[in-house]
Structure 1
Amino acid sequence: MTAPSVSVVVVSRHRPEALEYCLTSLSRLIYPNYEIIVVTDPSGEAAIHGMGLTGRVRVVPFDIANISIARNRGIEAAAGDIVAFIDDDAVAEPLWLLHLAAAFHDPEVSIAGGFVRGRNGISFQWKARSIDCTGMAIPLQLNETCNTVLSPPPDQAVKTEGTNMAVRRQVLLEQGGFDPAYRFYLDETDLNMRLAVAGYKTVIVPLAQVHHAYAPSTRRRRNRSVTDLYDIGASSMIFLRLHCPEALHVTRIAAVRQEQRERLLIQMRDGLLEPSEVRWALKRLEQGLTEAAEMVLPQLQPLHCTTPAFLRFESSANGDHIELAGRIWQKSELCKQAAHLAEQGKTVSVFIFSHTGLFHSVQYCKPGFWLQRGGLFGRSDRGQKLFRLDLFRTRVQAETRRTAEIRWDCTKY
């Protein structure tokens, strides 16, 4: 079956280092028909040039703190039948786009979302979730080995994450893309609700996976401590005004206040915030709620643009996969080998095991290989037993199988 054309849109502002990692992963996707569009500021453009990607990716200059408008600029610059989205502080597994795009072979599917792993590369930040008219997300239980097409009940939608989702381009144009009233937070959730109301079906694709690191921004520090809650307050109020019966507003706003207060107090307890910073963040939350309640909300109109020529990206990956494995003292040499093999186009997984029961972690390294570290007897999946007895070779084989369908084994396609 012919692979649909996909435009991968990345929005990046003031985070050139994170963007470099993201683009390194995107440049090594195992997919035959995609282009990369980066909506970014001058620092991002400089990073793209420094990586030697000038002319290979489409750059859309943009330096305004509004992710919805930025994503719409990316949609307007896209030429693919499908538009996929990933954040600049995320990296994609090599088969991410193959799994995500395959979901659209079903003509009834208009939007797809995958799973998102956290900073340690093992635990999941988000799997499958639904949302109700208040914006509250609820976990969904489904088969995590295959795709699931979902049609939610009234006043609900299937939640897709902005850092791992794809939508048919024509649908995005007709729907007016992302609502610019959402500068940050709930922007994709609002789109999910609008698509659900319009009757579009969503598919959850568990094997389409990215790793999301939460890079610092004007709203949080590198350690994820909160610095500003204005946009969360504003977006929460906008979402309620657009999707929720007014009778439920008071209850939901109280819940938002409580959720954010508890989040801040935990960070203060952990030494990440000072009491004055907690007070400031809560004040900004209230400002966002108040100002958004009085804001004149724009009426969304369809996006109109001239479809540009498709800028097909030639992936650096040749489809070959190699595993390297060793002990802690071999890490430096194995990483050098991995870098050399990656430069040759190989998809490389490096496994470094200590003779312990330490939990595992996965790190994406330049120039494009995967480094997994942990104890020979430790967990690499949070659902596994706390301690497992394994021979070294057996453990390498098990970890290779565990990552096969997201990293290199595309035989079913």
Structure 2
Amino acid sequence: MSISVCIATYRRPERLGALLDDLVAQQCLPSQVVVVDNDARGTARAVVERRRAAGAPFAIDYDIQPEQNISLTRNRSVECARGDWLAFIDDDERAPVDWLRRLAAPARHGRADGVLGPVLPVLPADAPGWIRRGRFYDWARQPSGALVPPNRLRFGNVLLRGALLRAMAQPFDPAYGRTGGEDGDLLGRLVQHGARIVWCDEAVVHEPVEASRLSLRWLLLRALRGGQDHARHRLNGRYGPLTRAGRVRFFARALAQSVLAAGLALLAWPAGRHRAVHWLLKVAANLGKLSVFAGWHYKEYGGVEHPGGAA
């Protein structure tokens, strides 16, 4: 198999360097690695040049996407990629030596158009106890070979048939470029057009959790954005057609669930902070769904986007 590994990066030189070292050590080597820097100043260039100078058993192509937009950055990586298959991994993740071999196996055997694998969080030693007990950074997992449900489609560890992406003018929708959610939108469209995307539970990558993310505020904002992503995908028909009555039911359900979760958070607090936070995140996610009806979106890459205006 000819595989291009695509990495979108933004001001994480040390973590990018560690990931490139991981790729050099893979049991199944890619034919190409594409690094697209979303920092107009090109802060990742030196990391790529050091890896090239140290030697690599594959081509490393580097480019810059100057406008801060994750969708445009990923689209540029697709344009640069020459492989028949494209593997996407985040710049802050670590890949064990058997990662790409395991991820490619279902595709190699002709059983899939795309393969998703788990991203396992690695908490720092000084992470608060309530965060450890809450397991707030864990992904949902499935048996290997199972089709991935539409509401669990996401990037971070994925292999896709290159022809599917090259058939699109812009695989990743720039409208999601400052908010995130471009991954679920793309994968949802692929599945709607018949792509078969399966889970490979053995194709693990690890994600060290940054200290800046070990806070209730970060978790609430992530849950809010996740709720917004879900609502946008639902309203755009990524999970199937939605009638006007279905939109009303969706709104009413989100409103009821946010009120119920708020009450359960109060009741759960004496049983442990992690239990209360679990329900607070449900509140945030449902408020995120409701906020989409008001026409504004939390911009993970830059604040809050109001209708017709920038942050």
User: Which TM-score band (shorter chain)?
Assistant: 0.5 to 0.7
- The 1:83–1:18 alpha-carbon spacing in structure 2 relative to 1, beyond 3 Å, is same
Judge conservation of contact 2:7–2:91 (CA < 8 Å) in 1: yes
Deviates more, 1:177-186 or 1:88-97: 177-186
SS of structure 2 residue aligned to 1:206: coil
Aligned mates of 1:15, 1:86 — CA distance in 2: 14
Question: In structure 2, how many angstroms separate the alpha carbons of the residues matched to 1:58 and 1:209?
Answer: 25
Cα deviation for residue 73 of structure 1 reads: 1.0
The CA distance in 1 between the partners of 2:46 and 2:183, in whole Å, is 28
Match of 1:168 among 137, 150, 161: 161
- Change in 2 beyond 3 A, CA 1:215/1:48: farther
1:179 matched to 2:145: no
The alignment status of 1:291 with 2:295, answered yes or no, reads: yes
Return the match for 1:226 from 205, 217, 225: 217
Name the SS for the 2:150 alignment partner: strand
Cα distance change, pair 200–259 in 1 and its aligned pair in 2 (3 A): farther
Rounded to whole Å, the distance in 2 between the matches of 1:90 and 1:215 is: 11
Contact persistence 1:19–1:88 (CA under 8 A): yes
**Corresponding position: 1:194 with 2:189:** yes
Aligned residues of 1:8 and 1:35 also touching (Cα < 8 A): yes
- Return the alpha-carbon distance in structure 1 between the equivalents of residues 123 and 88 of structure 2: 21
Contact 1:182–1:235 (CA under 8 A) maintained in structure 2: no
Per the alignment, residue 409 of structure 1 pairs with none
Structure 2: gaps of 5 or more residues: 125-134, 275-285, 298-305
Query: How far off its partner does 1:291 sit?
Result: 3.2
Match of 2:152 among 149, 159, 177: 159
Structure 1 position 71 matched with structure 2 position 64: no
Shift of 1:48: 2.3
Matched, 1:250 2:251: yes
Deviation at 1:179, TM superposition (A): 2.1
Q: Decide which of 228, 238, 247 is 2:232's aligned counterpart.
A: 238
Residues 52, 60 of structure 2: 8 Å contact kept? no
**Residue 162 of structure 1, CA deviation:** 1.0
Structure with the largest fraction of helix? 2
Q: Aligned-pair distance for 1:9?
A: 0.7
Bigger drift between 17-26 and 44-53 goes to 44-53
Closer/same/farther in 2, CA of residues 24 and 164 from structure 1, 3 Å limit = same
Q: TM-score, normalised by structure 1?
A: 0.52
Q: Which amino acid aligns with 1:44?
A: A
Equivalent residue pairs, number = 257
Which residue number in structure 1 is paired with residue 117 of structure 2?
Answer: 114
Residue 98 of structure 1 deviates from its aligned partner by 0.7
Structure 2 CA distance, aligned partners of 1:258 and 1:179? 33
- Measured against aligned partners, the alpha-carbon deviations of 1:256-285 in whole angstroms (never above 9, x if no partner) come to 96799899x99xx69xxxxxxxxxxx9999
RMSD: 4.0
Against the structure 1 CA distance between its residues 205 and 14, is the aligned structure 2 distance closer, same or farther, given a 3 Å change threshold? same
- Partner Cα separation in structure 1 for residue 50 and residue 292 of structure 2: 38
Show the 5 A alignment for 1:6-17: 6-17=3-14
Which is higher, the Rg of structure 1 or of structure 2? 1
More strand per residue: 1
Q: State the shift of 1:84 in Å.
A: 0.5
Instruction: Choose which of 20, 23, 27 in structure 2 pairs with 1:26.
Output: 23
Matches within 5 A, 1:244-393: 245=242, 246-251=247-252, 253-254=254-255, 290-292=294-296
Contact 1:20 1:48 in 2 (8 A): yes
Q: Distance in 2 between matches of 1:200 and 1:242?
A: 18
Percent identity between matched residues is 24
What's the TM-score, normalizing by structure 2? Answer: 0.67
Taking a change above 3 Å as real, the CA distance of residues 19 and 33 of structure 1, as seen in their structure-2 partners, is closer
Report the Cα distance in structure 2 between the residues aligned to 1:107 and 1:97, rounded to whole angstroms.
16
**Residues 236, 289 of structure 1: 8 Å contact kept:** no
8 Å Cα contact 1:117-1:209 kept in structure 2: yes
Cα pair 2:65 2:72 within 8 Å, conserved = no
In the TM superposition, residue 81 of structure 1 has moved relative to its aligned partner by 0.5
Instruction: Give the aligned residue type for 1:5.
Output: S
